[in-house]
Structure 1
Amino acid sequence: MNQHVTAEVADRAYSTASEDVVRLTDLKRRFGATPALDGVSLTVRKGEILGIIGRSGAGKSTLIRCLNGLERPDSGEVFIEGREISRLGERELQPLRRRIGMIFQHFNLLSAKTVEDNVALPLKLEGRPKAERLARAAELLDLVGLSEKAKAYPASLSGGQKQRVGIARALAARPALLLSDEATSALDPETTRSILALLKDINRRLGLTILLITHEMEVIRSIADRVAVIDAGCIVEQGPVWSVFADPRSEITKSLLGGIRPQLPAEIASRLVPGAGGDAILRIDVAGEAARAPLLSDLADALPGPFRLVHGGIDHVQQQPVGTLFLAVAGNDENHLSQVIAFLKARQARVEVLGHVAGSV
């Protein structure tokens, strides 16, 4: 294992001095009248994990094909390790493609070849000697925990094992960038967690830059450093994962987060009405220091009055506390409600009045 890691570290000297492994500038691609990419600009920094998330048809597949040179943009620039690739011919693209590893949703293993031969295939295509290929395959199978499966065939493997072979194969040529295209979508939740943990470990051990394409926000939450949200061919929001989770700005981001952020219980949500009357229901979002503070006890000390926590909690994303609380503020005193909201906002909480509910909550 140590020899393997040392070889990987030495190989990274190949990379340019730039900290941006990928840089996209105003990328546009249309299919007929439909814009698949409509002015996409973003960077992927050396050693980071960037997650790109969006619904089906948002432009994710076109973006990844532009990154590996399989699709040419109509306009804009694609830089890989400081070199613009979108206008290169096929012969010039070949050595650059070896700097990009790719893992797929459905594994794309060759059923007639053994596990070690699948892993060694990129090196065979490069014309490397057999002994070198097999030695590299052995190192990588050790890395992904499948040394005992070297002589097995893909048909005998589980889905998670097949994806581990796919990851090992993607690393064979010591790439600068690993592209993951919905790599866990075909896996069960437990296997997904193990594959994501493996990718995070590879990123940590080797300093490998990873770009994840996914429609699952839980994947982003698990391992990404930054997230970019794509919708209708445009990047609508991007930033550190914890920050985007704590304060999503676009409606598509809020929708994608809906399954993993606390939501107001349906029984209460169904009774919400606009305007005054009954208990006011507040949604309170906090992150960082605001989430660490004793917010509700401080509120009770500062503004005595009936209020009650009805739902919510604090989670941790990238070692940062991120919380969503739903608070019922009793009574029809609009002045008291305004004071509660002002108090919470003064402590860096984001507050939204969702409506009012008659009767007890």
Structure 2
Amino acid sequence: MTQHFAITEAGEPPAKADPQQAEQVVRLVDVKRRFGTTPAIDGISLSVGKGEVLGIIGRSGAGKSTLIRCLNGLERPDSGQIFIEGRDIAQLGERDLQPLRRRIGMIFQHFNLLSAKTVEDNVALPLKIEGRSKAERRKRAAELLELVGLSEKAKAYPASLSGGQKQRVGIARALAARPALLLSDEATSALDPETTRSILVLLKDINRQLGLTVLLVTHEMEVVRSIADRVAVIDTGRIVEEGPVWSVFADPKSQITQSLLGGIRPQLPAEIAVLLKPAGKEAILRIDVAGEAARGPLLSDLVAEVPGAFRLIHGGVDHVQSQPVASLFLGVPAIKADHVARIVEFLKTRNARVEVLGYVTGND
């Protein structure tokens, strides 16, 4: 069967934070933003808890970039509320937004480093803008470069760095002002797969060490799978699906989520898919099962309950957030009118999601 599958940064919340929202670093309430007649964000509501990693995924043009610009105050919503640590930033003027923006770190797809400044100075730039002393800036930059594994590059310039190193500098810079929230806008899209994995490991380590809340925007489901606690799928400015990552991976309900997952979930081999017909001697079933239901002896129980031969065509078991997520493709003889129906009914009693994909002649 093929398997696919130290530094304390507590920081104080703003003085006027709503205590009822203290554990919700981000809360959006029916946020809308239009450009002309086109809705970029069309009534989004969501929250991100302290220390949580939320992945927001969608295709290009889904509204992800507009959403993240609204979160850091670069775009103003037409309506709705955006609370950061209990304060509605949609109601703040530019002067009041400035100190709140320091509570938000930002990492970008193309790094946005200043080429004429050293790595150390790039990391310390937010602190220079704040008016911190040179000694304090250097001390903080040294701490963060050690955190991201680039202490030896402090005096280097961005042109001498690899893409992964540049992104590590960008992450260090985003942490300089001890933010409560880290926004990641397609931060790994310009990186090769190996470098992407190393950056995701770093982000997860930072999340664990610092208890930092992370909201990452991406079009790559593998990124969400690797790091996020929850995922929200956005399409045409709306959230179409939301939940724990393992749950969404196990049972994607929306068509867009199924499409986005297509590249990393097991699929019926193409040479069999082209042979499917509305009727035949053998039914081809897709079975998706996760969590506790995937830990039991599902197939042996199936044989005991509904005797008969079947063949295992393809599939795999993955682990997402320490939960088993299995996708299996079975060929089941359609020997009696109710045989396939009995198998489907039994599997559903075991909390499996079952789909009859079609039939083959039996000789394929």
Q: TM-score, normalised by structure 1?
A: 0.96
Q: Which residue of 1 aligns with 2:74?
A: 70
Q: Secondary structure at the match of 1:180?
A: strand
Q: Does 2:344 correspond to 1:338?
A: no
Give 1:272 deviation, angstroms.
Answer: 0.7
Q: Residue type of the partner of 1:136?
A: R
- Number of equivalences: 355
Q: Secondary structure at the match of 1:359?
A: coil
How far apart are the structure 2 equivalents of 1:75 and 1:331? 56
Q: Does 2:91 correspond to 1:96?
A: no
Q: Which residue of 1 aligns with 2:361?
A: 358
Deviating beyond 4 angstroms after TM superposition, the runs of 4 or more aligned structure 1 residues are 12-17
Q: Which residue of 1 aligns with 2:318?
A: 315
Q: Which residue of 2 aligns with 1:282?
A: 285
Q: Residue type of the partner of 2:163?
A: G
Q: Which residue of 2 aligns with 1:128?
A: 132
Q: Give deviations 1:1-21, integer Å, cap 9, x for gaps.
A: x4xx13x13x25669551110
Q: Which residue of 2 aligns with 1:240?
A: 244
Q: Residue type of the partner of 2:27?
A: R
Q: Of 176, 179, 186, which residue of structure 2 is paired with 1:182?
A: 186
**Higher relative contact order structure (alpha carbons within 8 Å, sequence separation ≥ 6):** 2
Q: Which stretch shows the higher mean deviation, 292-301 or 137-146? A: 292-301
8 Å contact from structure 1 (residues 154, 162) kept in 2: yes
How far apart are the structure 1 equivalents of 2:290 and 2:219? 24
Q: Secondary structure at the match of 1:220?
A: helix
Q: Give deviations 1:38-59, integer Å, cap 9, x for gaps.
A: 0000001110000000000000
How far apart are the structure 2 equivalents of 1:230 and 1:331? 40
Q: Give deviations 1:100-148, integer Å, cap 9, x for gaps.
A: 0000000000000000000000000000000000000000000000000
Q: Which residue of 2 aligns with 1:229?
A: 233
Give 1:342 deviation, angstroms.
Answer: 1.2
Unmatched tracts of structure 2, length 5 or more: 1-5
How far apart are the structure 2 equivalents of 1:141 and 1:240? 32
How far apart are the structure 2 equivalents of 1:116 and 1:59? 34
Q: Which residue of 2 aligns with 1:273?
A: 277
Q: Does 2:83 correspond to 1:83?
A: no
Q: Which residue of 2 aligns with 1:170?
A: 174
Fraction of identical pairs, as percent:
78
Q: Does 2:116 correspond to 1:116?
A: no
How far apart are the structure 1 equivalents of 2:68 and 2:299? 45
Give 1:290 deviation, angstroms.
Answer: 1.1
Q: TM-score, normalised by structure 2?
A: 0.96
Q: Does 2:215 correspond to 1:211?
A: yes
How far apart are the structure 1 equivalents of 2:118 and 2:329? 55
8 Å contact from structure 1 (residues 281, 326) kept in 2: yes
8 Å contact from structure 1 (residues 277, 332) kept in 2: no
Give 1:300 deviation, angstroms.
Answer: 1.4
